[in-house]
Each structure stands twice: as structure tokens, then as C-alpha cells.
Structure 1
Amino acid sequence: MLKSTSLFILALVALASVDASTNVTDIKDCPALKPRSDGPQNVHDLRMDDIKVVGALGDSITAGFGIMGFDTTVNPVIAALNSYNEYRGLSYSIGGDKDAFTIPNYVKHYQANVTGYSVGKHIGEYCNDSPKADQLNAAQSGAIAMNLDHELDYLIPQMMLMEGIDFENDWKMINLQIGSNDMCGACNSTYMDEVTPEKFGGYIEAAIERIHANIPNALVNLIGTFNVSELFPLTDGQAYCRPKNNDSSTIGNRKSCSCGNSPEGLEKMYNLTAAYNEKLYKIYEKYQQNKTDTFAVVYQPANLNISGFPIEFFSNLDCFHPSLIGHEWVSKVIWNQLFSKQSMKPAILNYNVNETIYCPIDSDRIVTN
């Protein structure tokens, strides 16, 4: 009888834990976490309220290029100027504009003092010095994996010198996503030797090793590459993708990504997506086998079923970069995966207009295995 009673109590506790967790449409509706009496024991014991610093590495997606698209309701000259802005404050992985649906803003709901997120907008950067508002958003439009070392030349000193950061002791989360330009570069003789799966994996691993060696108390959130090849059949012939006029030659994704102009190029990008993500997963596995108390790499698959996505997921500027709708949706699915074991993460991500945000509970940790 005693054993049966104990099992019943355990079952009630388990049910209570399940009931305590919830999903919402706005992070503001998530209940606060109860403060812990002591901090995390190690990197594998992190809650979201332990994260004090956020940073990011990547390309134009992380830089927020084209998020607001081409506004056909205003003067064409003004629309053209605005459309080439980087809306870094709205970037899903590192933006911090008020009320934006971004990972840093979700963290901020639990840790009001988090810093490092980028805010506002400005004209696109191409390997230039970053404005102050960029903070720890080191992403550069046009970047490929080879350029991550250059981005770290900015990120590491900036993090060390930024006000409000205890560089040695604060827990830091660095979001890293890159690969779209690498895939497009596979059809460009200037870059094709630098974007092989082996080179891609090598550059990513070198960047993570540099973070490991130079940034204490760090969690690298490694995000998979999108299947860029699926963009082109979806956007082909769409008037939405050429707002400036009705000339099909102005569809930006074909101009900026030469691999999208032929079946052979599309196949090459399709194969590279799988190969790149395999390299990313192997990097994650390497750090699983070499765990430490102060550094970890987590991996979030991003196998978007783009062929089933609405055209509005992409910026009407070029139908290549995600729109505001796209960034908001990706912020939710990547956030949700942070609380899921690797074996439980979705193999394919299908678009859901009603995608919700997971509210972590007191016992939840950022999952590192």
C-alpha cells in the first residue's frame, strides 16, 4: 500500500509539472520564474534568467536586412532608400527593439538586465565598423562562414569593453547562424573553393573554438542553415517579389544568388544544405563528448519546409531574406527548441500561422544534450 501511495504522489507531481508549463502568443503572458537562492552550478544548469549577455554572429539574416521590405505606399525614392536598411533591432536572434518578437526580448522577460542586443536600423553594412546601436550583433550582410573570424575581431573586444557586462562572470548566449551566402557562392568561381562542406565546417568550428578560448561562461546556440533552394520554385513568377515594377528580371533572389538560376544550381544548394547541417551537427556532437562546466554548444535544426510557406514569410524586396513575419516565426521555433532534448527536436519545421511561444517553468533548464 505504501509503495502504491508513493507512486500516486509521484504521478501527481509529474502532472502538476506538465500543467505548470504553457504556451502563449506573446512572451509577456508567460509567468515569471521564481528567483533561485543561488546561481547556476554550471553551463548545463542555466535558466533564462541566468543569461546576462546576448551576442550574435552571422550574415544579412542576423543583420536584419530587408525585414520591412519595399513599401509601395510611399514615394518610390524614399521606399528604395528605406528598403536597403538593416533592421537589427528586429532580427530574430539578436534584436531588442521594444515589443519585437526576438530571442533577446524573450530572455529579457526573465532577466531584465540582459544586454548585448542590437536596436534600431541603419543602412546596410558590408564589413565596416559597426554603429554603437549594434552592440553585440557582429553579423555582416554578405558574410560567409569564412568571415566569422572577422566578426569575432569585433565581437570579443566589444564584449570585453561594454558597460554593464561582467566579462569574467556573466553567463553569455551567442547565437550563430550562417550559410545562405555560402550556398549561393557555390556557383560563383570567386567563392566556390571556400564554401565546400569541409571548408564551411572548418570555419564554423574555428569560430566556436575561438569563442571557447576567449569568452568565459558561454553558451553557443548553433542554428542550422535554411534550405535556400526551395525559395526559388516558391517565388518564381510572383508579383509580390518584384514590387518596383513587373519585370521578372528584378526578382532579387535570382540576382543575388546565381545558383537559383538553373536546375543544376538548385540541386547543388539542396545538397549543400544537407552537408552543411551534417557538419553543424558533428560540431555539436564534438562538444557533447568534451563537456566542461563553463562552455557548451547547443544545436537547433532549422529544416524549414519552405515549399509550404506563405510568400509573405519573405521580404518583398528580394524574396530571399525573411520578412518581419519570417523573423517573428523563426524566433518562436528556435526559442522553443532551447528547452527540448536533441532527440525530441522536430526533423522538419512546417509553417504555422498560430505558432506559440513556450513558457519555461522553474525547473526548466536550457537543454545542452
Structure 2
Amino acid sequence: MKTINLIILLGCAVSWCNADDSLEDSLQEDLPFTKEATRIDECPVLQNFERATSVHRLRPSDIEVVAAIGDSLSAAVAAINIDTDYLTAEQFKQYRGLSFDMGGDENAITIPNFLQHYAHETLIGPSVGVRDVPISKETFFAFDAKQVSEIDRLNAAIPAATSYNFTQQAEYLIERIGKNTSLAKKWKLITVFMGLNDLSASCLPGYSFIEYRQRMEKGIELLKQNIDYAIINVVGLLHSEQMQDVTNKDPTYRKHFKDDTVDVQTFECICCHPLASTKLLPQPLAGILDKAVSPLGKQYIARNVELYDRELRRLVMKQANHDPDATTAVVYQPFNIDISSVPVKAISNLDGFHPNKIGQEYMAKAYWNQLFLPSNKKQQNLQFREDLPVYCPNANDYIQTM
């Protein structure tokens, strides 16, 4: 059967449940723990150190550039709730300055702003501001969206992206921070968080875990071959098929279009709504999809979450680089979230799927805390906690690569 490259936006690109209480214990027991804080600006600023020469000896202050490969989560789609009676397509925005892994808006709780606290100079790459989500009359979320460099900067994420788009996003970054650019030898933190949209379409041809791994491996190799002086963090996946259950418990929370025959969740996760497949695309594709979609729906996605994530772990393990003088490393960052622990207030009321500002802030803190834990101590299961403290690295802490 012909592979169908269907790019589905997945607000279930939402990893926003937080590390459980054992995180603090792990940090205190296994790292030279200074303290924790409610905000990064409460952490002590460290003395200046000589510039690192190995990717395995990077402190936060060594990072000069941030970049990302991703989808609607890294684009911070729908991060600000609305207060109108009805939802309109025009209200879907990308709040890129609030993105957990790439946001650079002032006072935003994000990875770039955490790094900026320790930086000697202004960090290069954080996305800023707000822009529209490209909309299509046929599929709601436009499949052909591109980066807007003035706002996105080095945040290559596109809302509707799947692993099919990895190469395009990688090329966008290579053009700006690759080996032949002025930023070639600056230390970089690159986040790769991609696969939740693949999961939403994983009941369709072309989205098996094997095909997903092949595309992800090709993309990571492209980054490694063309970008040096970088930690490439590959963020793990979560059970996105459970996201709708959270807001379904509070039917009044999520906003709807005045035309109640249109439900944005149908477009965001096609395999969560297998019987809706014929409404998403015109013939003859609709007929093909109707036959391809598995009646198992969410159960099918749940199975694929485990398979996809297993393949991410395997490909990162294959990329392991123990050379003490290495200048590039690929690291797996588990981000498995207990979706049942996520409160409604952390989810956007535009679609009941994406993390809003509360969710994005949690993700930033949880991701930051994981960075300083070695692979055998990283938190494998995360529970949402709005008041999760941030770790304050001390002079002996490095961003862990093994």
C-alpha cells in the first residue's frame, strides 16, 4: 500500500507532568547538591570557569546557543487560555516566547531563561513573541507551514510536524549553526522532541515504529554530521492518547466552535477518532484512510507509545560517544508522564489537548532537573506538580551526557 505522508497536529504533544518527590532525593544523594529554588533567579550565580573543551564537561554557563527540532509543543501552541464563549480558528496562536524548551520572553519560565541566568553573554537562539498558527480549510492545521526566523530564531519546530519533517527542520538549523557558520564552535544545547504527531497517525500506513525510527535516526545523523559542539537531547514520548480524558472530566472547561459539527480534537489525533477519518481528507484519500484506520483507536496508540520510545532509546544508545574529548553527544531524556496526574488547569482550554502556560512552565522545570542526572538516575515516571522546584547547579555540576 502506498505510504501516506499525513502530518497531523498533536496537541497531545504535551509532556507536562512533573517529576515526583524522589527527584529531590536523587539530586541530593547523587549530585553535589547546592539547593533547590522556586525560581531560577533564586539560585546563586556561579563564578566564571574556563571554557569547556569536552561535551562531557559542560556547565550551564558554557551553553551559548539553544535550538530545537519539534512540533506544536515546542511552538507552544494554545499556551494562553481564552475567555470568549466560543472558539475561533484565529485564536490559535504560537506563543513561542513561552515554549518550555525554546522560549525567550522576559520572565518566562523556560530552559533558555534558566541558561541565561548562568550565561556570560546573551544566549543565541531563543524564540520570542507570538504568531498565528497556519490554518487550512481542509485539514484545519496547515501541513505546509514554515519557520519565520524573526520570531522563531533557532526554534525550528512546526506545529503540525511529524518525523517526516525532521530533515527540513535540521536543514533550517544547519544553515544557521552548522560547521560552516559563525556559530560553528559555540557550545549548543539542541532539543529534539518529535513523535507525538506520528503517534496520533500511527494507525495509518507509514507510521510504524520501524519507519519512525528510520526517520529519526536519519535526522539525528544529519545533525551530528553537520553541527559540532552540541548536546543533542532526544526527549522521550508519553501516552498522548490519554490527554482527552483529562478535560473530558470537566465538560465545561474546553471551548468549542459555534459550529459544533467541527471538533479540533478530531484533527489533532486522527487515531483517537478512527471513525472520523473520512471527514478529514477529500476522496480518494478518505476512502483509503477509512480502510487503514485501526478500530482499536487509543489502544493502538498506547501500544505504539512504548514501541516508539523503545526505538528512541535504542538509537540514542547506538549513538553513545564515550570519547572524553568528544564535542558532540546524543542523550536520551525520559519524559514519561502520568497523564492522570495532570490537572485541567494545566491544559489549554482552546482544545483540551495542548499544555497551556502552567503546563509549559512545569515542563521547563522537569526537563531542567533531568539534565543534571546521569542516565541511570533520571526520573522514569513523572507526576505533575505545579510547585516543582528547580535544581540549582553548583560548581561541580555538569549537564549529564552518560
Give the TM-score of the pair, scaled to structure 2: 0.79
- Compute the RMSD of aligned alpha carbons: 2.5
In structure 2, distance between residues paired with 1:219 and 1:19: 22
Change (3 A) 1:56 1:199: same
Change (3 A) 1:124 1:131: farther
Q: Mean Cα displacement is larger for which, 330-339 or 283-292?
A: 283-292
Give the TM-score of the pair, scaled to structure 1: 0.86
State the Cα distance separating 1:147 from its structure 2 match: 0.6
SS at 1:39 equivalent: coil
The equivalent of 1:297 in structure 2 is 330
SS at 2:332 equivalent: strand
State the Cα distance separating 1:178 from its structure 2 match: 1.0
C-alpha contact (below 8 Å) 2:32/2:394 kept by paired residues: no
Are 1:279 and 2:288 an aligned pair? no
Give the partner amino acid of 1:281. R
The equivalent of 2:122 in structure 1 is 113
Change (3 A) 1:17 1:260: closer
Are 1:317 and 2:350 an aligned pair? yes
Aligned match for 1:87, one of 86, 95, 117: 95
Change (3 A) 1:55 1:289: closer
User: 1:18-167 counterparts in 2 under 5 A?
Assistant: 21-36=34-49, 38-72=50-84, 80=88, 83-111=91-119, 112-125=121-134, 126-159=144-177, 166-167=182-183
Give the partner amino acid of 1:224. G
Change (3 A) 1:143 1:19: closer
C-alpha contact (below 8 Å) 1:240/1:316 kept by paired residues: no
In structure 1, distance between residues paired with 2:118 and 2:373: 18
SS at 1:303 equivalent: coil
The equivalent of 1:9 in structure 2 is none
State the Cα distance separating 1:131 from its structure 2 match: 3.7
State the Cα distance separating 1:201 from its structure 2 match: 1.1
C-alpha contact (below 8 Å) 1:144/1:179 kept by paired residues: yes
User: 1:214-363 counterparts in 2 under 5 A?
Assistant: 214-236=226-248, 238-244=250-256, 251-261=263-273, 264-288=296-320, 291=323, 293-363=326-396
In structure 2, distance between residues paired with 1:137 and 1:215: 15
C-alpha contact (below 8 Å) 2:179/2:228 kept by paired residues: no
Are 1:173 and 2:174 an aligned pair? no
Q: State the structure with bigger RCO (CA 8 A, min sep 6), 1 or 2.
A: 2
Q: Once the two structures are superposed, what CA deviation does each residue of 1:269-300 show, in whole Å capped at 9, x if it has no partner?
A: 11111111111111221122565611101111
Change (3 A) 1:290 1:21: closer
C-alpha contact (below 8 Å) 1:135/1:158 kept by paired residues: no
C-alpha contact (below 8 Å) 1:21/1:360 kept by paired residues: yes
Are 1:196 and 2:214 an aligned pair? no
Give the partner amino acid of 2:168. H
In structure 1, distance between residues paired with 2:334 and 2:30: 26
State the Cα distance separating 1:166 from its structure 2 match: 3.9
Q: Mean Cα displacement is larger for which, 59-68 or 257-266?
A: 257-266
In structure 1, distance between residues paired with 2:154 and 2:132: 17
Give the partner amino acid of 2:245. P
Larger CA Rg, structure 1 vs 2: 1
C-alpha contact (below 8 Å) 2:371/2:399 kept by paired residues: yes
State the Cα distance separating 1:221 from its structure 2 match: 1.0
Give the partner amino acid of 1:356. P
C-alpha contact (below 8 Å) 1:197/1:276 kept by paired residues: yes
SS at 2:232 equivalent: strand
Q: How many residue pairs end up in the alignment?
A: 344
Q: What is the aligned-residue identity percentage?
A: 32
C-alpha contact (below 8 Å) 1:241/1:251 kept by paired residues: no
Change (3 A) 1:18 1:301: closer
State the Cα distance separating 1:129 from its structure 2 match: 4.2
Q: Once the two structures are superposed, what CA deviation does each residue of 1:45-98 show, in whole Å capped at 9, x if it has no partner?
A: 00000000000010111111111133328xx6xx73662110111010111000
Give the partner amino acid of 2:41. K
Larger proportion of helix: 1
Q: Once the two structures are superposed, what CA deviation does each residue of 1:309-359 show, in whole Å capped at 9, x if it has no partner?
A: 101221111111111111100111111000001111122101112211101
C-alpha contact (below 8 Å) 2:247/2:352 kept by paired residues: yes
In structure 1, distance between residues paired with 2:366 and 2:347: 16
Structure 2: gaps (5+ residues): 1-27, 135-143, 275-294
State the Cα distance separating 1:247 from its structure 2 match: 8.6
C-alpha contact (below 8 Å) 2:43/2:392 kept by paired residues: yes
Give the partner amino acid of 2:315. I
